[in-house]
Chains A and B, each alone.
Chain A
Amino acid sequence: MKPFLSFIKMQLNVNYGISALKYRFTREKEKLWEPVLVGVVILVSLLPLAAMYIGLMISMFTAGTIIGQPEMILTVSFVLAQLMILIFGLFYIMGSFYFSKDLETFVPLPLKPYEVVGGKFAVIMVNEYLTSVPILLPPIIIYGAGTGQGIIYWLKSLVLMVVAPVIPLSIAALIIVLLMRVVNLRRYKDLLAIIGGLFAITIGVGSSLLFQNVPENPEEIQNFFTSQTRIVDMIGSRFPPSIWATRGLADVGIAGWGYFLLYLAASAVLMMLLLWISNLVFYKALLAGQEVSRKRNNISKSRISRQIGRTQSPVTAIAKREWKLLMRTPLYVLNGLVSSMLGPIIVAMMLLLKNEPELAELIGSLSEPGIVPYAALACLGLMLFTSGMNLVASTALSREGQTIWIAKMLPVSAKQQVAGKLVVSYVISAIGVLTTSLIMLIFLKIPILWTVGATIVGLVGSVPMASLNLLLDVFHPKLVWNSEQEAMKQNINGGIGMLISLLVLVILGGIAVPMTIIEIPVQMVFAAIGAVAAILGVLSILALFAVAEKKYRDIEA
């Protein structure tokens, strides 16, 4: 048992960087603001969603009380939490059990397969609390306070919250462990990453569309939930643990304890089953996946000569390298190219899905001569927003990670190196702008001349956004990371970069709004925005080059 426990301890330490945090708190106190700022940014950005969720749960509780089923919110929240854990768990488990780099270190250790699986499972479970606790806590508090529950309820709910991820995560792990024994999914790692990312985006878009369909006045809310009760019951009956958890909390006396213990027992049994099966098959699938045969044939001289290219300028060479590395990394494609096109595509989807007559009328009116200029102006806003919401520029230097030594060794000035990066970042932003133009033309039916005008200003406006984002990353790159995820998504520069883009948007909007109010022709407004954006663009590129020269020198590899 001792090696198992110390393995779990080590896994938690490594995954949450506990030793690294200790080091930071004791040795590098000047860098303490970073994690604090990240925490604050995350909390603030989640506040609206939390408020919406809590509001929804309160309405549901009220509706449930009226129809005599106040505990409905518990069932709903357990179903929701467990479903989310199950879905995300599939991807977490796949990554952690079969794709993570540390496996090569663990396999030769004298640990049993179930111990390795158990350790990794523990880490994912702690990760899943980030999903499950925010979903479960509000309904538990609303129900507990609303029905005046005693201490036993609160204690039981604490236990259930701790245990909540076990059942769905064990099921996810069993599915993956057994699936991997049959098919070697390791070959499709990149494909899986893309599927996972698109899946997460679909859930995001889907849930926001769902929230849109929730009625607004109290009476309708009640009717809505009353009509949905059957659905909840149905889902609950397909996934009985959520009913057991609900009954375990809501029922009094022996029945309540019975369901509560049933839930715990089911968790324990599934967990044991997972460990037992893993012990039998985990290493077999893992090791089978590593036997990749590769046939390296000597290729002919002429083929080699064909691959040897002509001499290109250093900036072109760097831009081409950046483009290839970006487009060959699924995670970067998702957070770069896909997220750059996502804004306009979501708008298009919402327009298509929300089949309301008023909307059709609104779209129709956009192409009326008096409205067109303002519609084009609004689309310009969307273009600039879209162009600023990708993480390509704000992580351009960070992504070099451990290969930064090459950048430092190249006989190419920092100015040229960032110029190459700027070209690629700009192209990605420009794709966002052009996607919006297509939507303007196709869905909103804005005349082509106005679309072209907005597109040109949008393309100019993307320059300061991309160069300021890049400047930020050059100023403060995150070069130490272990996964592409950390380099891009868990990089504070991404969030700050978006704020910078918003700031540029606010500045340009600050010019447009007063000009529009005093009824200056919209053509003039476009020209003014374009001119200011161009000046901002030139200034930010000059600043970028100046900062790069100094910062590249200071970076130590």
Chain B
Amino acid sequence: MIEISNISKSYNKGAVKAVDSLDLKVNKGEIFGFLGPNGAGKTTTIKMVVGLLNPDSGSIIIDGTDIAKEPLTAKRKMGYVPDNPNLYDRLTGMEYLNFMADVYQVSADMRKERIEHYLEMFNLKGAASDLIKSYSHGMKQKTALTGALIHDPRVWILDEPMVGLDPKSAHLLKNQMREHCDRGNTVFFSTHVLEVAEKLCDRVGIIHKGKLIAIGTIDELRHGENKGSLENIFLELTEQ
């Protein structure tokens, strides 16, 4: 579903290599957790996957579509939520969702069903008519999630989706991620919370200093040289 081939990205005219020749494949029906310390290159990678940053080299294929060659088709296939979503403060939540439904050309019936479903799930019904600038971080996060999923994309790409969510919403989102993948779709998300990755992900990848240093199921990672919890594995790998 997501094929990342040999992508690199550097800043300051090559002085800082944020992502270095990264290869990664995320399969159909898979929840993939993308882990790494602060500044490892997680967000840079995700931003390249969704087309917010242009890679210096390499290619990214989303569900068979090259994001560089056919960006609009690729964007229709995915839904993305950044770690700190800045939304239009002076629109109401509902206006934002209607706007997203319009640009993704979601039919009136479908948008009604999905908006009602997510507002109910995230307990946002009472706030939908308020301006987004009055929302808390978590409410913005939930609104951004609803907007990103309104066209029922096959690939979900979420940067730190649990940050700012209350336990109930986080739990419901995790269930949704599982259900989405069980229907043959894909979720690619980054997280710092290793317990979440351990429980939820089919496979995880660990990025460190711009390079992918480990990839596999939790069991596969355990069977190598490293034993113990994901936390131990993570600490050992990233201390090198």
Residues of chain A whose beta carbon lies under 8 Å from any beta carbon of chain B: 27, 294, 296-299, 301, 304-305, 307-314, 316-318, 320-321, 324-325, 328-329, 401-403, 405-406, 408-413, 553-554, 556-557
Contact = CB atoms under 8 A, between A and B. Distances in A.
Contact of B104 (A304, A329, A411): A411
Contacts of A309: 98, 101-102, 108
A-B pairs with lowest CB-CB distance, top 5:
A317-B102, A296-B126, A402-B86, A328-B90, A411-B75
A308 B94 contact: yes
B50 interface: yes
Given A299-B128, A408-B51, A557-B52, A307 B94 contact: yes
B82 interface: yes
Contacts of B50: 409
Interface string B109-148: 0011001100100000111111000100000000000000
A470 B104 CA distance: 25
A311 B125 contact: no
Given A308-B111, A311-B102, A294 B75 contact: no
B103 A411 contact: yes
B53 interface: yes
Interface of B: 12, 47, 50-54, 71-73, 75-76, 80, 82, 86-88, 90-91, 94-95, 97-99, 101-108, 111-112, 115-116, 119, 125-130, 134
B119 A406 contact: no
| Interface SS of chain B | helix
Contacts of B126: 296-299
B103 A405 contact: no
Contacts of B116: 301, 304-305
A553 B98 CA distance: 25
Contact of B98 (A299, A308, A557): A308
B90 A409 contact: no
Contact of A554 (B47, B54, B125): B54
A74 B101 CA distance: 64
12 contacts: A304-B115, A304-B116, A304-B119, A305-B116, A307-B94, A309-B102, A311-B111, A317-B98, A403-B87, A406-B87, A409-B75, A557-B52
Nearest to A312: B102
B90 to A, nearest CB: 4
Nearest to B68: A553
Contacts of B53: 556-557
A259 to B, nearest CB: 51
Contacts of B127: 296
A553 B54 contact: yes
Given A307-B128, A325-B88, A325-B91, A411 B76 contact: yes
